[in-house]
A and B are shown apart, each in its own frame.
Chain A
Amino acid sequence: MKARSWTIVSLLVLGALLAACAAPAPPAEEAPPPPVAAARFQTILDRGKIICGCNAELPGFGYLNPAGEFEGFDVDFCKAIAAAVFGDANAVEYRPVTAPERLPALQTGEIDVLIRNTTWTLTRDTANEVDWAAVTFYDGQGMMAPEATGWKTFEDMEGATVCSTTGTTTEMNLADAFRSRGLDYTPLLFEKTQDTATAYEEGRCDAQTSDKSQLAALRSAMEHPEDHVILDVTMSKEPLGPLTAHGDDKWNDVVRWVVWGMVQAEESGVSSVSLDDMLESDDPTVRRLLGVEGEMGTSLGIPNDWMVQVIRAVGNYGEVYVRWLGPAGLNIPRGPNELWTNGGLIYAMAVR
């Protein structure tokens, strides 16, 4: 049987399909990938909005509210960058990304900036060709225990049973923390974080370990969150912050200075409440920060009133922290995320 006319039709349609998939990639187009990265900032300006890779399911940091809008600590930094560049905090296209695709999405230019609780490590910085801009949250592995125990340090916890997830760095850090102090403990290991939380709540262990932000989220899901404390001990470094693709320096500068500008604003007492008064301030740092004098914004390639827009849209660093991670939110003590002037690690480079 020779269904020739049918096969010709098939050929045409399949050919068209194939052409649609493959044709627009002539070899000549593959030559200039570096300019794509370098020209990212211009692309963003032309587009009129930033594409922000974010988390869609992390309590306090990035999730959907009942109206279907993204909100959270990380999301506020997306808004801040949009406010600084375009004077409009809504000039953002949120692109939820999962852990395995987040770095490739940045490399392929799917997203302009990734703000999704990504720990700044040497391997990621080099092997994945990405550049962190700043640190917005110093996370670290912590310990949660019932308040009634009165525990403060590892030494208090001699002989305790600790719930942890198995086969992760979490388990290793836990072992290191106790062994280096010569203390005894019994680990109780589970596959999933949710299971460790359940075991802890059922009283099968005396304490539970995980990243502090995670512990805070687990705690707020408990029936009596007020009965549990996150101890002031830290077992690992998990600095989280926004990152951009490698070789995209101008754009990276904008992102980092927006973060540092928000930190400087808190340090200088500029908040969404005091903004109007601060515009009249005599403090040279404040005047430069708010664009009253000097050309800070202009030299970044963005409007000179950039920080005014940021503060108006989301507030300073401290306000963003309190909004999502303060007592009304996840209730994570500021700890290392306190300003350096208050004994924390949050420090802005000089705005001048």
Chain B
Amino acid sequence: MTTATEVMKPPRTEVGVLGWLKKNLFGTWYDALLTVGSVAFISVVLYGVTNWALTGAKWGVVTTNIKVFMVGRYPYSEIWRIWASIGLFAVMAAITGVVWRLNIARARRAVTISWIVVSLLTVVLLAGFGENTPIPRVPLAIWSGLMLTLTLGIVGIVASFPIGVLLALGRRSNLPVIKVFSTMFIEIVRGVPLITVLFIAMLMLPLFLPASISGRLSNVLRVMVGMTLFSAAYVAENVRGGLQAIPKGQYEAGRAVGLNEAYVMALIVLPQALRAMIPAIVGQFISLYKDTSLVVIVGLLDLLGIAKAVTGQTEWIGTQKEVFAFAGVIYFITCSALSYASRRLEKQLGVGER
């Protein structure tokens, strides 16, 4: 198509900025009307927002409380542990980047394993041990702020994925008990709103469990379990969609070369199914991440809960707009990062190209 332009240059109004403007914004009279209208609307909104952000807003509520927004009630004296964890992750990310860029095939496995080790280390570092150790225990119950939001999001994503895959396989199983259980689990969970799941995890669980056990489950842990199981049901349906898209010939071919069923599933069917479902699964993860803000309703102080809590400070009463705008920006940045990562992954695996 583009090679035609090499022969003779088109008129100036057809190319460059002018051409683009004419083609995209002022093609017809109603295009022009829409363009002018939209520009007017956007300018009014932008002017209002920037005017408020630069002159009216009391950003002091955010700067004064930045520690609370980020790590909530995590004790001041222990904040070095959070920095250390961030540092560990940064180092790991750098190493991973180098290994992948230089394509050092041998180091890849080592890097993967060290990611797992570092993640576990971080959990230990942040949660701590007993009383009289260099890293005293910081109970999950007081984790709050962005730290809690990220923790709930990451744990939910990491834990719900394998459970979801197992549920999807269970639902396609020929063993009636497993099939019925998986189907019932998925359908019941999908039939209940997340709020209800959270309320059950928070208030009903202590009624079912003896006090000796429920007393030891922190409220954060209970919410984690609730959100993970909730998300797993949706992941399961996404994965099932992927499994159904794999032609039967793939299974038969796998069997024909002598692989047993486990290997057929693990080496041939699942990789293809999951690759195809990346957009749907990442969509589910982003939605899970945003849903973590619902924990405010059961009294956990995630990023949104903190935003509400600091407006109780006598000095900053009535600064709801500022704190919610700040929380919104953080959510936007983190969600965009997630979807960017998903696009990268899709590109590398060539989804939609093969």
- Seen from chain A, the residues whose Cβ lies within 8 Å of a Cβ on chain B are 1-7, 9-11, 13-14, 17-18, 21-22, 24-25, 29, 36, 43, 55-69, 72, 93, 95-98, 100-101, 104-105, 108-110, 194, 197, 217-218, 220-221, 329-330
Contacts and interface: CB of A to CB of B under 8 A. Distances in A.
Contact of A63 (B71, B167, B312, B320): B312
6 contacts: A5-B261, A56-B312, A63-B310, A67-B68, A67-B76, A105-B202
Nearest to B73: A68
A128 to B, nearest CB: 13
B309 A57 contact: yes
B202 A101 contact: yes
Contacts of A100: 297
Interface stretch (B26-34, B46-54, B176-184): B176-184
Contacts of A1: 248, 251, 261
Contacts of B297: 98, 100-101
B230 interface: no
B309 A63 contact: yes
B78 to A, nearest CB: 11
B335 interface: no
Nearest to B228: A17
B64 to A, nearest CB: 5
B75 to A, nearest CB: 8
B166 to A, nearest CB: 5
A56 B305 contact: yes
Contacts of B202: 101, 105, 110
Nearest to B255: A1
A103 B167 CA distance: 36
B234 interface: no
B317 A11 contact: no
B275 to A, nearest CB: 19
B213 interface: yes
Contacts of B167: 10, 14
Contacts of B15: none
Nearest to A18: B181
A96 B301 contact: yes
A59 B203 contact: no
Contacts of B299: 56, 95-98, 101, 105
B298 A98 contact: yes
Nearest to B305: A56
Contacts of A218: 317-318
B215 to A, nearest CB: 8
A101 B296 CA distance: 11
Contacts of A221: 317-318
B65 interface: yes
A14 B262 contact: no
Size category, B interface: 35 or more
B307 to A, nearest CB: 9
Contact of A10 (B144, B170, B314, B318): B170
B206 interface: yes
B313 A66 contact: yes
Contacts of A66: 64-65, 67-68, 310, 313
Contacts of B135: none
B312 A64 contact: yes
A63 B310 CA distance: 7
Report, nearest first, the 7 A-B pairs whose CB atoms are least far apart. A63-B312, A221-B318, A7-B173, A221-B317, A64-B309, A10-B170, A68-B73
A24 B209 CA distance: 6
A108 B308 contact: no
B208 A68 contact: no
A108 B206 contact: yes
B74 interface: yes
B133 interface: no
Given A1-B251, A68-B71, A101-B199, A6 B261 contact: yes
Given A1-B248, A56-B301, A56-B312, 8 more contacts: A6-B169, A6-B261, A10-B173, A58-B312, A63-B311, A64-B301, A100-B297, A217-B317
Nearest to B298: A101
B210 interface: yes
